[in-house]
A and B are shown apart, each in its own frame.
Chain A
């Protein structure tokens, strides 16, 4: 069955520290992969996407993610976290065409000053 797992429900980091959010997927075909961020009371904003090509993708707000096919992973990273990065982060996998997405349960990030 197709699924997305985000193993960490909550993560707390200090401002300026590095960040890695984990995402593992189960998908039969070559997937499209996405990371979205949701600030409180808001909808989801696209951080970055992987469709094909270079497995290290750059996104907005200084985020990057690396697609590792052998590990079925698409982990999100940021070298130095800012207080404004506190939000909930969702990993998603989708198919070509209709782009129907399957979402992980989300990781809530807290940032200490």
Chain B
């Protein structure tokens, strides 16, 4: 089975902090994704990556950046956290043209 592991289930940070969310997959998938999930809005794509060191903006990239230095790891960075970034963050990975597999999510609170 594909395993997508997010480093934290719950995280509490303060406004203005730099926040790192880590995601690791164990199936040699080319594609990796970061979403945020908010009630009534479904999942919205922040960034995705289709290869090492390659990234593309999703629908809501403002206030976020990403890093993919190794194929198995995809990091989401909040450069200066703000309260409106309080949300559930979901990481996913996939082979090209195949369904995405999701991690269990990180519930992030910014105080």
Residues in A lying within 8 Å of B, measured CB to CB: 4, 9, 32, 34, 36, 41-46, 49, 90, 92, 96-101, 103-106
| A41 neighbours in B (Cβ, 8 Å) | 104-105
Contact of B100 among A96, A101, A106 (CB under 8 A): A101
Contact of A98 among B35, B40, B50, B104 (CB under 8 A): B50
Interface flags, B90-105, vs A, CB<8A=1, else 0: 1010101111111111
Question: What is the distance, in angstroms, from B68's C-beta to the closest C-beta of chain A?
Answer: 14
Question: What is the distance, in angstroms, from B59's C-beta to the closest C-beta of chain A?
Answer: 8
Beta-carbon contact of A105 and B42 below 8 Å: yes
Contact of A46 among B42, B99, B103 (CB under 8 A): B99
| B92 neighbours in A (Cβ, 8 Å) | 44
Known: A43-B90, A97-B96. A90 touches B42 (CB 8 A): yes
Q: What is the predominant secondary structure among interface residues of chain B facing chain A? A: strand
Known: A43-B4, A43-B105. A9 touches B40 (CB 8 A): yes
Residues in B lying within 8 Å of A, measured CB to CB: 4, 31, 33, 35, 40-45, 48, 50, 56, 58, 90, 92, 94, 96-105
Q: How far is the CA of A92 from the CA of B105 in the complex (A)?
A: 18
Q: How far is the CA of A92 from the CA of B102 in the complex (A)?
A: 14
Beta-carbon contact of A96 and B42 below 8 Å: no
| A49 neighbours in B (Cβ, 8 Å) | 99
14 contacts between A and B (CB under 8 A): A9-B40, A41-B105, A44-B43, A44-B102, A90-B42, A90-B43, A98-B31, A98-B50, A99-B97, A99-B98, A101-B45, A103-B35, A103-B42, A103-B44
Q: How far is the CA of A44 from the CA of B104 in the complex (A)?
A: 8
Q: Give B97's nearest chain A residue, CB to CB.
A: A96
Given A9-B40, A46-B99, A103-B42, 13 additional A-B pairs, CB 8 A: A32-B97, A43-B90, A43-B103, A43-B104, A96-B97, A98-B31, A99-B98, A99-B100, A100-B48, A100-B58, A101-B33, A105-B41, A105-B42
Q: Give B6's nearest chain A residue, CB to CB.
A: A43
Q: How far is the CA of A43 from the CA of B40 in the complex (A)?
A: 17
Q: How far is the CA of A42 from the CA of B88 in the complex (A)?
A: 11
